[in-house]
Structure 1
Amino acid sequence: MTFPRNKKTWSLLATLSVIGSLSLAYAQQGQGVVSSYMPVDITESFASIMARMKAAKPQIEKAHSDLLQARYDLSDKPARDATMSQGKPLQEGVRVKLSSGATWEQLASMTPEMIRDENLFPKGFYPLPHPNHPEGGMVFPKFEIDEIKKQEGRDLTRFDLDFDIPDHFLPEFPAPIYLTTRPDLGDVSKGKLVTIDNYYEIFNGILNPKQIEGLRLLLTPFPQQQFNQTEDRRTEKASRGVACLDCHQNGSTNGATHLVGDIRPQEFRHRIETPVLRGVNIQRLFGSQRALKTVEDFTEFEQRAAYFDGDPVIATKKGVNILERGSQVHFMAEFQEILDFPPAPKLNIYGKLDPAKASPAELRGQDVFFGKAQCSACHTPPYYTDNLMHNLQTERFYKPELINGLMAVGDGSIKTFPLRGVKDSPPYMHDGRLLTLEDTVEFFNLVQGVKLTPTEKQDLVQFLRAL
């Protein structure tokens, strides 16, 4: 069927877009993909858009909250013997809930086909939807919003949506900053969130002029899909935009989330959690599909396309910032490439445990990591990445399902993220579906079919905490 493109049709598509039902702009009347583009001309007033979306917010957030409650134990249960680099307690224990009557041992004894046919794959192992998947866009945790507003007077609050993961599952804030160029200084941030207001006083005398300029650009807000000057923004007041380090706070992560820009239609787009920038100097693949080969490529791509859902037409309308490759992009990359992993005093120069410093449980966990669990097939020392992509074929375990606007059909190929400093960057997986290291061990034990014992799982967690 050919869909008529008259004025009335485009008006309908524009209205659907601002509601957030982007998938309907791609597929009309069940006829499949019609267009990869979002409507540019918005015919509804901003006041009307905001009023309608504010009214819809409670129901949208309840649906997502119900999903999280059904999947996870979200209670605050800090570990008594494990913290992040600056002292925030790690959350411990398996938080993914099982179907009634099921056990982890039972699942580990079943084939993927049996788990799929009996619908026993834990719901917390399914892809995690965005807090409002049909709408999407950047969403920030409240502690980041509050500090940016305090320092800069810039408001990252969305009127239509709040962040979803509880703070106790998120990285410490502000995160420490370690530099490959000055390991003797330890945390150079001195407990402050680095912003456009304080970066110079913190880093003058530590960075060279190019790096300082690169940091300034990383802290400068530029227009983005939801944070801009247009009538289809998602902030009450016209916004200057977002900065790179609004998500990558202090070169780490605050858990902020959005959707990848390189997949259509909307329901097939993956939620993506902000990855840390620590250790980008040893990484060779960037971007949600890892098609970018340098951090310079990624920096430029983010500003030109990813900020605007991969739509260059929308980017032009909202005020895309075109960076100059030979100076600005280079300066930004030069700063990013000196962000170091947090110290790991129990590791030797080869990235493995020093027997004189490690506990018996950590040493046993290292043996499991390099042996039965087969973790090292992808996560090779000293940084615990092979700089490749791997497909876990999670779709073996469940049938395709539409979950709060997300079509769960598997994850495809995923980059091997470095595990150095992994305890400092929960939640885990590219979409943040795994809240703790214990959840992560259970996930890979099941998906890989390695059948670890309860003791081996506990020891493996102890080893991961030491990286």
Structure 2
Amino acid sequence: MSKTRIGRWMTLGLTLGCVLAVTITRARAQKPSSYMPVVEGDFSTVMARMKSEKPAIESRQAALLRERYDLANRAASGVTMFRGKPVQEGVRVKLPAGLTWDQLANMSPADVKAKGVFPAGFYPLPHPNHPEGGMLFPKMEIDEVKKQEGRDLTRFDLDHDLPEHLLPEFPAAVFLTTRPDLGDAAKGELITIDNYYRLFNGILNPKQLEGLRLLVTTFPQQQFNQTDDRRSEKPSRGVACFDCHANGHTNAATHLVGDIRPQEFRHRIDTPSLRGVNIQRLFGSQRALKTVEDFTEFEQRAAYFDGDHLTAAKKGVNVLERGSQVHFMAEFQALLDFPPAPKLGIDGLLDPTKASQQELRGQELFFGKAKCGSCHPAPYYTDNTMHNLQTERFFTPKMINGRFAAADGPIKTFPLRGLKESPTYLHDGRLITIDDTVEFFNVVTQVHLTAEEKKALISFLRTL
């Protein structure tokens, strides 16, 4: 056989091989995968496309929120967070037409499901762009970090979806178990790499101060890094732990949990407060990590990168040293205390000489008829375990803006101390106010509270 003919056959073989490889690759791409898809392309082209898609995506999410909730700025009279931000009041979840809350609460789960009347605001809340996901910060955080550090947490493809009046106080106060005499140890400032030393030198010991430094140090993250498949216009140094857990609390930054596949089953996560970490025994809404050291290490190694350690390696994950750095970070987190609750005694219960009759009645309901205390016992109002509310009893699973609303599974019992300081509620932030939360649990647990009993229970919860 001539060399020319051999060359032709080799060329044909290579061509067929390439076609077969592309076909196999495409076939594999259509199947669900445990790994994050990585699409490398011209960055400016990708950014232009995503910017052009942004208005439609945000309009879709805004329409969902309007359908579900009353988002008005309606503050409770005389009820504020520690630094004075008003607490929002009233049930914001909208009911199906022609239905009252009492009627809904008196229906069986099977009837609610059959009639399709489970309120839209009780379904799982999708990420503002669920198919894309990723860390997303409220504007107040973006503006302050940019002012202090010149670091930009803006995503070119997406903005935060909830209005600021519904979010936690910002910057949040910082309370230390070791120095309760200080009150707000942050003095009204957002703690960053620029001011942590000035604010806490002489208050913390050297290990704790180093732990705080690491908590305000930026690390590469899935959407904020140096690669072309980032979601910031300029290459980014990354994010810090305290960008989401601002001042050791929460600013309602949102993300998708890294521990569920496929994408449509991943839960939106409303950043939980780190206050009271020292009394908690489970970490992560569903991962049930057993120590705050575990949480700190694996959050930075994996959750920052949507739970994909291969992507983490590509984007420059900074692996922390467990025996010193992780330990120092955990030691500081363990100092973060709950806000003062002047009406509570040392047992975590109301002092009858300080509480109103309505608040005392609410406490009685909390530990009695409402059955809240069975999962949220005093003094910190958590049983440090997990519970499955089985909300899927009330609805037929369906797709909502890219999120497949189905069973949530067991969720960690979050502490209720300082509850009024950390809206929104439930692990994904689907409940806007404490009033919404009471209505939700009244329906789901079927305890049949009256309107007056609900008011009393809300009054008690605000004292925590």
TM-score (norm 1): 0.94
Residue correspondence of structure 1 range 33-72 to structure 2 within 5 A: 33-40=31-38, 42-72=39-69
Residues 38-60 of structure 1 show CA distances to partners (whole Å, capped at 9, x for unaligned) of: 244x3311111100000000000
SS in structure 1 at match of 2:358: helix
What is residue 448 of structure 2 aligned with on the other side?
Answer: 451
Equivalent of residue 157 in structure 1, options 154, 157, 163? 154
Q: Tell me the amino acid that sits aligned with residue 415 of structure 1.
A: K
Distance 1:222 1:367 in 2: 47
Deviation at 1:288, TM superposition (A): 3.2
Distance 1:78 1:162, change over 3 A: same
Give 1:8 deviation, angstroms: 6.2
Alignment match, 2:260: 263
1:241 aligned partner: 238
Instruction: Decide whether the 8 Å contact of 1:391 with 1:413 is kept in 2.
Output: yes
- Relative to 1, partners in 2 of residues 1:261 and 1:124: Cα closer, same or farther, differing over 3 Å? same
Is contact 1:91–1:169 with CA below 8 Å preserved after alignment?
Answer: yes
* 1:404 pairs with one of 397, 401, 404: 401
CA distance in 2, matches of 1:199, 1:98: 46
Point out 4+ residue stretches in structure 1 off by more than 4 angstroms: none
Structure 1 pair 9–145 and aligned structure 2 pair: CA distance change class (3 A): farther
Separation in structure 2 between the aligned mates of residue 39 and residue 424 of structure 1, nearest angstrom: 37
Q: Is residue 313 of structure 2 the alignment partner of residue 316 of structure 1? A: yes
Q: Is the 8 A contact 1:174 1:191 kept in 2?
A: yes
Aligned residue number for residue 322 of structure 2: 325
- Asked whether the equivalents of residues 127 and 410 of structure 1 are also in contact (C-alpha less than 8 Å), the reply is no
Distance in 2 between residues matched to 1:179 and 1:38, nearest whole Å: 39
The amino acid across from 2:423 in the alignment is P
Give the corresponding residue for 2:389.
Answer: 392
2:362 equivalent in structure 1 = 365
What letter is aligned with 2:346?
I
**Counterpart AA for 2:446:** G
Counterpart AA for 1:191: G
* Aligned residues of 2:258 and 2:266 also touching (Cα < 8 A): yes
Q: Figure out how many residues of one structure are paired with residues of the other and give that number.
A: 446
Q: Give 3-state SS (helix, strand or coil) of 1:6's partner.
A: helix
Q: How far has the Cα of 1:6 moved from its partner? A: 2.3
Residue 6 of structure 1 is matched in structure 2 by: 21
Q: CA deviation at 1:244?
A: 0.1
Residue deviations 1:57-99 (CA, integer Å, cap 9, x gap): 0000000000000000001001112111111000000000001
CA distance in 2, matches of 1:440, 1:308: 31
In the other structure, the counterpart of 2:205 is 208
1:326-378 Cα offsets, whole Å, 9 max, x none, are 00000000000000000001000100000000011100000110100000000
1:18-37 to 2 correspondences below 5 Å? 25=29, 28=30, 33-37=31-35
Counterparts of 1:309 and 1:252, CA distance in 2: 22
Corresponding residue number in structure 1 for 2:291: 294
Q: In structure 1, what is the Cα distance between the partners aligned to 2:289 and 2:210?
A: 23
1:235-281 per-residue CA deviation (whole Å, 9 max, x = no partner) reads 00000000000000000000000000010000000000100000000
Quick check: 1:194 aligned with 2:158? no
Q: 1:274 aligns with which of 271, 274, 284?
A: 271
1:305 and 2:320 matched: no
1:374 aligns with 2:371: yes
Partners of 2:70 and 2:211 in 1: CA distance: 41
Query: Is 1:135 aligned to residue 132 of structure 2?
Result: yes
The letter for the 1-side match of 2:348 is G
| Aligned-partner SS, 2:56 | helix
SS at match of 1:81: strand
Amino acid at match of 1:35: S
Amino acid at match of 1:422: L
Q: What secondary structure is seen at the aligned counterpart in 1 of 2:146?
A: helix
Task: Rate the CA distance shift 1:312–1:355 in 2: closer, same or farther, 3 A.
Answer: same
Q: Aligned-pair RMSD on alpha carbons? A: 1.3
CA–CA distance in structure 1, aligned partners of residues 37 and 92 of structure 2: 41
